[in-house]
Structure 1
Amino acid sequence: MPTDEPNESKRTRPVRPDPEATGTEARLPFFRSSLDVARTRVGAALAAPAAALVLIPLLVMATGLVVSFVCRRAHDRSIEDLARARFRDRGLAIARQVEETLRSAEPLLDSLREYLTRGGLGDPHPVFVRRMNDLMRDRPAVAYLFFGWANGDMLGAYRERDGRVRGTWRERDRHRLRNWEVSDERMTPVREDDRFMFDSRARPWYVRAVQQGGRTWTSPYVFFDQGVAGIACAEPLYGPDGRLLGVMTVEFNLNTLSERLEKTMQDAAVQCLLFSARRQLLAFPGYRVAEGESRSGQGELPLIMDLQAPAVQALSQRLPAAVENPMGLDFAVSGQPFLGDIRPVDFGADEKWFVATWGSLAGLKEPAVGAWHRSLMVVALSLLAAVSAAFLFARHLIRNRRRVVQAEQRAAQAADEARQLGSYRLVRKLGEGGMGEVWLAEHRLLSRPVAVKLIKPEQLSKHDQANVQSRFRREARTLARLESPHTIAIYDFGIGRDGSLFYVMELLHGLDLDDLVGRFGPLPLGRAVSILSQAACSLAEAHSHGLIHRDVKPANIYLCRKAEQLDLVKVLDFGLVHEHDVRETRLTQAGALYGTPGYTSPEQARDSSAVDLRSDIYSLACVGYLLIAGRGVFPNASPMAMVMAHVNQPAPPLSELTDRPVPPGLAGLLLKCLEKDPDRRPQDLHAFLRELAAVPVPESERWTEERCREWWDRADIRRMEVETVRETEKDTTRWLVPQRS
């Protein structure tokens, strides 16, 4: 019995969500759809006209800012590169100057040695001192020029702190010191001390010269009497008997080098110092070694780290343990970047000296900051002008865009109207030939695809306009009168609003015989006979209406597939058709040949206007040769030679053009159709069809329905087919030949 209770099996049960489905995989479609929506909205916003007013100025502004940023970075890098080059050049200049100053000891010692070896040792002290004074007068860096005797005495010249040169004679045994003021006329004593303790043999330069046995440089040390830092170049002097006579020495005051560096360093942003490989401070602008100053009380020079200058201490910490080659240094002082450069000084000493130059990067950039600020103002003004111009350009662009859109709409409307031919709309062009264009079209109401043959007014000159229009109308009327299934069907005919002539015909899917033989070679005899029979049926109907095709050729015979009909033949292009019994004026010019050279009958070659249906039979037999032999009746000849061969030469039998066996009946029929005299050919296509039907086809050459369907299934017709009625005017050649009497 029925019950009001619902069936438990039919109840709607809540679906429990799958825990795994509620994870990331379940959310992915939502994220993707959201992303698509966002992308669509952004695209619509960017495509809006107002977006151009904002985006173009912003783009120009962003470009200007990026360019300014890049230029600023390039400016900073160029300043840094220039600073490094500046330090390198300054260091090299200072190193060369120090080398030049210290190398002046060489000629001094050479002159002094020459003087002493020529008898200078025997000169009175005033003469000796005056000679010393003359040698060091123009060398401000030279502090002492001495000759230390082997007994400990010393005689020579020295330079006071005020720069004056004085002579000095120091006797070890008598503890006597005498100093003279030297002038051109006389020597005036300025100091005498009988309690002076001195022994030249204990001086560093004397000891090192005797140890080395030749000219040598000492290490930097503190001078005995002045307490200043110096360095000496000494050379021992030996007598003829090899006995040591004494030591010549040239001593340089390193404080004088500091003064010279101070004069050289005219740029406050760049500083420098001179130091030894042991980190001893040799020269520093503004720095002086005080009297008696030494490190550890042993006459050692201070180290560069003893200076209280933060930049010098930071530089000393960045120096490697052993400085060998030129090098650049980057270091920081109180967070500020500094650049430095180290250059060696080579003057012949055993211990290497180095020149260090450095400076604050900010200090180096400071002169360019003002120029950069001024250029930044110019850039800002230029950027403002560019943004304003971009805004005006965007505004102008939007206006032009609107005009273009409106013009495109009008053009699209005009193009759409131009594509309307009566009840048909043109879709796309399929081909173009000498007589016009062929378009794929469709009926606007039925949506049926068709082929439209179209001749536009601009394709016609005033001279041939009437002729072509008459020929076009005649082709349409001719096709409309024919009902054979092997003749292409015409649906409509008319004149467009722009004066274009058109007619609408069925759309075929397949390939013409030219393409068929070109792609697949000669056909089986059964298939060739079938194609010739269908083409003959189409032409026979035309002949029954008094119509002659006059351009029968492989390109005008189309092999197609229509629904379940396979190997269906359609004869195309009745544009050259000739009404044999018409009384109107001929459209063919006297003395002109219309047709195709390889398929033209002899009588058509002589006079195209004086042909009858037997001319089409001749051309159809030429097509049969191509289908069976794979080539024309007269192959490998020029177009004019082909025409003359058809007129004068007998057609060769098929056995000469192909090695395949051809039934004698078929070969004889085709050769009979190729007779020069039309009276010796079959007199109509019905007789041709009767003889063709009587030809026995070998079993291996028969074209059965199974073989036909298998071929169409295997052939890649979709790739090969041209969705159009072949525009055969492109292959039609008009030949002007002398008219025979």
Structure 2
Amino acid sequence: MTERTKFTKATADQPSPVRIGRALASPTGVLITLPLLVVAVGIGIMLVGRDATRSSTHSMAKHQLGEQATSVQTDVAFALDQADPLMKLVRALADRQRPTDEVLVRLHDLLAGRPGIAFLSISFPDGTFRGAQLMPDKTIEVQESRVDPFEAKWFVVENGALRLLRTEAHQYDPRTRGFYQLAVAKKSRAWTEPYTFFKSHETGITCAEPVFDASGGIAAVLTVDFHVGALSSFVARPALDQARTVVYTKDGVILAYPAAEKLGLPPGDTLLKASDLKDPALDALFAAQAKSTIDTLRFLELDASDGEYLASVAPIGGKRAGIAVPLDWFVATLVPARTLLGPVRKLEKRSIHASAGALGLAVGLALVLAWNLVRMRKQVARSRAAARTAEARVRELGSYRLVAKLGTGGMGEVWRAEHRLLARQAAIKLIRPEVMHPEGADEIHERFKREAQTLATMKSRHTIAIFDYGVTAEGVFYYVMELLDGLDLESLVSRYGAQPAARVIQILAQACQSLAEAHDAGLYHRDIKPPNLFLCRAADEVDIVKLLDFGIVQTINENPAKPVTLRREPLLETPKLTQVGAMLGTPGFMAPEQILGMRIDERADLYSLGCVAWWLLAGNEVFPRENEAKVLHRHINEEIPDLRAKVNGWLPDELVQIIRLLLAKEPSDRPRDARTVAAMLRAIPIPVEHAWTFERATSWWQAYKPPVPLPSIPTGEVQVIMPGRTVEQRPLAATDDRAIAQTIATPTANPRSR
């Protein structure tokens, strides 16, 4: 029996549901079932949805229109009802003898957070006026005006006190205003007729109330003003598309209308008439309302010149603030009929188009799935084989085998590697060609080569050693350097805090040895900072300092050293600040002459070393980090702070003096070279109780990390510094507020041109 016969027989012996499931899961089953399923579901949804939409459209519209009317009614009622409690509170302030500051601050507090209220005021018989007003920008200003002389003072309230904004001459006398005369005439609380505010063009209404003295005379008139148009959020944001809500009187006065502020109303208290709007829907509404009386919520069908409309109309009125409101107002929401019925017709057409599109998409998808099912296994097998080959090839770099990635920078990587014959551990720094812009590739290659050649010439044990340099057949630039066991000075301080002065002296002296050799060779580092000084151990030796990153080194031939005198001028006014990207270095660790783009010599590196010393002793930078421009400005112009005030513990005067010399603004005031600094450091007397002995150092390293065979270092624990822009990847330091800023260096800037 053949294999095909066996399979056919086995399939025939399976239950029917299993056979059906296998058939549907096959490429042919998917090709047939998926389109049919989409078509059936689409047609069913289209038929059911059409009927449901048509039947519910009108009921939904009535419901939404009714909610709109109710919302406006509720908002108006709530806002107007605030007049009663506010009048009682303002009455307590209607005393001419009460201090102006106290009254104005209290009026400010009463107005805050009151929806719809525009103004609270107290007017006195002598013409004095005190009030609080909600401004167009939603801030509150308070004022006191007098008539003898005519002068008004405007204030804002800050922290419970008044701050004068302006003083204005005016001709305003509250005793001549309608609200004052209405209150005096009525001798009781009264509501004004609707009117339009002059500046905002919003319609409002005022509640006025007189206050009488013991003799029965007028002591004051209180007012509460309301913005009627702002009472309902639906006036500006209707519930339905293309719908608009309008509040109006029976006489055709428009009290609230969408975008009323854009209609160009005439100045003064002129009210807006419906005829001014030239709105066909409103014309049809007033024509229909003239034929019937509306005393409850009603729905109208309007036939306007620009189409059919549906409208809800409801009256607004009643008793507010304890008295009858002289309102004969209505709220109406109008929506084009096409807004409600148009989507139904569009939905039917879209359903047909969507079903056809879904069918075509389903057929195409089924074909793609069927084709992929056939080739998937072969493709997976080929991909696995190719991946194994690629992994083996990428881990071979010259004579070295890449073992584990130590970190990733903006343009490259650092790997822990092993020599294939010598089994020697090393670190490999490389740049892959795919991350470089074609226009900058030659410059990056040159800078990378330059760093390797510079390191190769250095013999000091305090400069990181380089073993090899090259370019692979794939165009990957790399050089091989010694693998260090330890941490950089940024991480040292970020994790363990400021360091003892005796230890700092040793660290600085070792760094000076590396700098002395570089300076003797005419090389200036230009980026001395804590991340570029590495504290490590080797065998039984501990606290060994290594100087890293010679990627932006400069030679004497490129930049002849000449005496310079710094100009003291604001950094924001110097041409160099507008070209911060053209500078090379790190804000917070750059010498003033380096910031200003002047010619530098070895004393610029000594200034940066002084900044590093400050970091080690104080646990932070010389000047608190704000933005780059401010830090650079302070390094140029400001004297350094008192270091002793920032250091806890023993701090010799000699070390303080050395750091002050290193941080001198003028290069001529600094030590002449690194050897001089090293000699000054070694000459500092250190008491026995403060000495950083070999035993203390060994004990610290035992606590830091016991000696074990070097493991794969997790990504992010190792500094990655690439030519162009330096990037530090160390989470424990980078998340600390004191973490060092990045190096400023534009990849397009050619260091030889400086």
Normalised-by-shorter TM-score class: 0.3 to 0.5
TM-score by length of 1: 0.44
Rg: which structure is higher?
Answer: 1
Bigger relative contact order, structure 1 or 2, given CA contacts below 8 A and separation 6+?
A: 2
